[in-house]
Amino acid sequence: MSFAALGLSEPLVRACADTGYTTPTPIQTEAIPTVLSGVDLLAGAQTGTGKTAGFVLPILERLIANPLPAPTTRTDSRGKVQTAARPLRALILTPTRELAAQVEASVRVYGKHVKLKSVAVYGGVGFGPQAAALRAGVDILVATPGRLLDHVQQRTVDFSKVEIFVLDEADRMLDMGFIHDIKRVMALMPASNNGVRRQNLLFSATFSDDIKTLADKLLDHPKTIQIAARNSTVEVIAQKVHPVDRDKKRALLTHLIKEHNWSQVLVFARTKHGANRLAEQLDGDGISAMAFHGNKSQGARTAALTKFKANKLQVLVATDIAARGIDIDQLPFVVNYELPNVAEDYIHRIGRTGRAGATGEAISLVCVDEGGLLRDIERLIKRSLPKEVVMGFEVDPRIRAEPILRGGAQGRGAPSRGGPGQAPRSTGFAKPRGEGFAAKKSFGNSPRPSTGGKPAAHGGAGRPAAARRPRPAGSSAFSGSGNR
């Protein structure tokens, strides 16, 4: 199957070829013709499957296939001819700034041979340049909910002509407390324009009852596509568990990194505080490490990621929600320093490696407290993970399991709670506060030091390269976030 056979026109097929894509991924094979047909779409697919191109390409196709009439002009009081700004035609909502920047970069790369303008708006960077770009007219807007609603309030954005609306990573958006913002955005868009119904696309890795309710509200007779999580079907990721005592995890991690001379290790910690502490400790052990989470300023996040991507930082210690935006080509190692409380997050975490066909290794350091979490994960991925004790780090059978408290601190007597959408479980694991609503505030609304620059408009050239995350030339996906 080729991109052309899916119904995409030559400039888009050429952009795919420029990016190094030869064959559409399964989500692309299913989603592209569906979106082109104009029906609503409910897609179960996660990052790493190629879902971004799965919706960006057909959106571009639909917009170029139905060009707007030439913009109206008027002569102002000073006799100057004013051309009406192009109306916003497609709106894509994403949960995090990094993802917004990444998706918009994809729009520019896939749309590099067509004349459509895109902008990303999100918090943490200057409002004014975004407002100016919006006023100048944009065809495709990629936004995080908080900053988008700031623009609504300032009347810098007009949804009245939106033809296509995309909710990307809807499950994450709900986890992050964006439901009210999403509803507000939905209420601001007309259901149809000139008799043509708005097309709505919802992408989510998981389908909780809340997602189903949202889908019922948003979508009209949608086509449903379910793409198996890449990592549960494609055996490109070698997964293993190292059983270890709770207080020997750090020593084991240091040992593994040094012993195998690992570089570019993405380590997942359960809490922001835990991520900070671990990064400091690793640094103390002579391993360059930085933390990456929602309490870090956008500038600090961008700096850490840039160093990590450039291979100048051995370890990036991330929390789940912050890690959502990380897309690094061929990241070789992912380490679960602590298992996630929600089993689906395990699949998402390990999906950071082995991307786009590359091989990768995912290692979990599991202590006695995490037995229940490991069982949940194994049930979800429908297989038992190989356990391998590292010499010198044998498990002490006398150590008893302790409940995992909110915030990740160890202790006793925590109430037992499951992850979102799950029934309470009896393992004694409590869901930490993590980066839920707090993250929404810090991602979307809190003032951050602006890294300057202006919102990027459409027009960057893609780098011709082997198949990988497309980025505009001269910038990484995340230098983009610093510029916008």
Decide the pairing of beta strands 237-243 and 360-366: parallel
Least distance from C-beta 168 to ligand AMP, angstroms? 9
Pattern 53-72, ligand AMP, x by CB under 6 A = x-------------------
Contacts of residue 128, Cβ cutoff 8 Å, sequence gap at least 6: none
The nearer residue to ligand AMP, 151 or 469, going by C-beta atoms, is: 469
What is the closest distance, in whole angstroms, from the C-beta atom of residue 104 to ligand AMP in the complex?
A: 13
Instruction: Name the residue with tokens 């980066």.
Output: 435
Specify the residue, 119 or 205, whose C-beta has the smaller distance to ligand AMP: 205
Sheet strand arrangement including 223-226: 118-121, 140-143, 90-93, 164-167, 199-204, 41-44, 223-226
Q: Tell the smallest beta-carbon distance from residue 60 to ligand AMP (Å).
A: 14
- Long-range contacts at 399-404 (CB < 8 A, ≥ 24 apart): 399/245, 399/246, 399/368, 400/368, 401/368, 401/369, 401/371, 401/428, 402/246, 402/369, 403/369, 403/428, 403/429, 403/430, 404/270, 404/341, 404/369, 404/370, 404/428, 404/429, 404/430, 404/432
User: Rounded to the nearest whole angstrom, what is the least distance from the CB of residue 120 to ligand AMP in the complex?
Assistant: 15
Burial 201-239 (b: 16+ CB within 10 A, else e): bbbbbbbbeebeebbeebbeebbebebebbbeeeeebeb
Q: Least CB distance from residue 368 to ligand AMP, whole Å?
A: 35
x/- letters, 425..464, toward ligand AMP (CB under 6 A): ----------------------------------------
Residue 112 binds ligand AMP (CB under 6 A): no
Interior/surface letters 306-333, b for 16+ CB within 10 angstroms, e for the rest: eebbeeebbbbbbbbbbbbbbbbeebbb
Whether 211 contacts 174, CB under 8 Å: yes
Q: Which of 147, 270, 348, 355 binds ligand AMP (CB under 6 A)?
A: 355
Min dist CB 466 to ligand AMP, Å, is: 9
Q: How far apart are CA 169 and CA 86, in angstroms?
A: 28
Give residues 15-54 in contact with ligand AMP (rule: CB under 6 A): 21, 23-25, 28, 47-53
Closest CB to ligand AMP among 69 and 474? Answer: 474
Shortest CB 92 distance to ligand AMP, Å: 12
Q: Which is nearer to ligand AMP, 202 or 467 (CB)?
A: 467
Sole binder of ligand AMP in the list 428, 470, 472, 482 (CB under 6 A) = 470
- Nearest CB to ligand AMP, comparing residues 49 and 451: 49
Please select the residue that binds ligand AMP; options are 140, 468, 479, 480, rule is CB under 6 A. 468
Can you tell me whether residue 113 is helix, strand or coil? Answer: coil
Query: Closest CB to ligand AMP among 130 and 353?
Result: 353
Stretch that binds ligand AMP, among 70-78, 412-420, 425-433, 467-475 (CB under 6 A): 467-475
Is the separation of the CB atoms in 298 and 448 below 8 Å? yes
Q: How far is the CB of 326 from ligand AMP (least distance, A)?
A: 10
Cα 113 from Cα 11, distance rounded (Å)? 5
Residue 468 C-beta: closest distance to ligand AMP, Å:
5
Nearest-approach distance from CB 332 to ligand AMP, in angstroms: 15
CB 168 within 8 A of CB 99: yes
Nearer to ligand AMP, 24 or 434 (CB): 24
* Count of chain residues binding ligand AMP (CB under 6 A): 19
Nearer to ligand AMP, 50 or 460 (CB): 50
d(CA 153, CA 104): 23
DSSP character at residue 50: S
Among 147, 296, 469, 484, binds ligand AMP (CB under 6 A): 469
Contact by Cβ (8 Å): 95, 176: yes
Q: Which two tokens stand for residue 336?
A: 């679960």
Minimum CB–partner distance for residue 84 and ligand AMP (Å): 34
Q: How far is the CB of 20 from ligand AMP (least distance, A)?
A: 7
Q: What letter does residue 398 receive in the DSSP assignment?
A: T
**Residue (143 or 282) nearer to ligand AMP, CB:** 143
CB nearer to ligand AMP: pick between 62 and 352: 352
Instruction: State which residue, 188 or 236, has the beta carbon closest to ligand AMP.
Output: 236
Q: Which of 38, 175, 162, 56 is nearest to 111 (CA)?
A: 56
Task: Rank residues 49 and 96 by Cβ distance to ligand AMP and give the closer one.
Answer: 49
Backbone phi and psi for residue 327, each to the nearest 5 degrees, phi listed first: -130, 105
Distance CA 7, CA 346 (A): 35
What the block records as the tokens of 471 is 């980025």
- The residue whose two tokens read 């700031």 is 150
Site string for ligand AMP, 307-346 (x = CB under 6 A): --------------------x-------------------
Can you give the binding site for ligand AMP, defined by CB under 6 A? 21, 23-25, 28, 47-53, 327, 355-356, 467-470
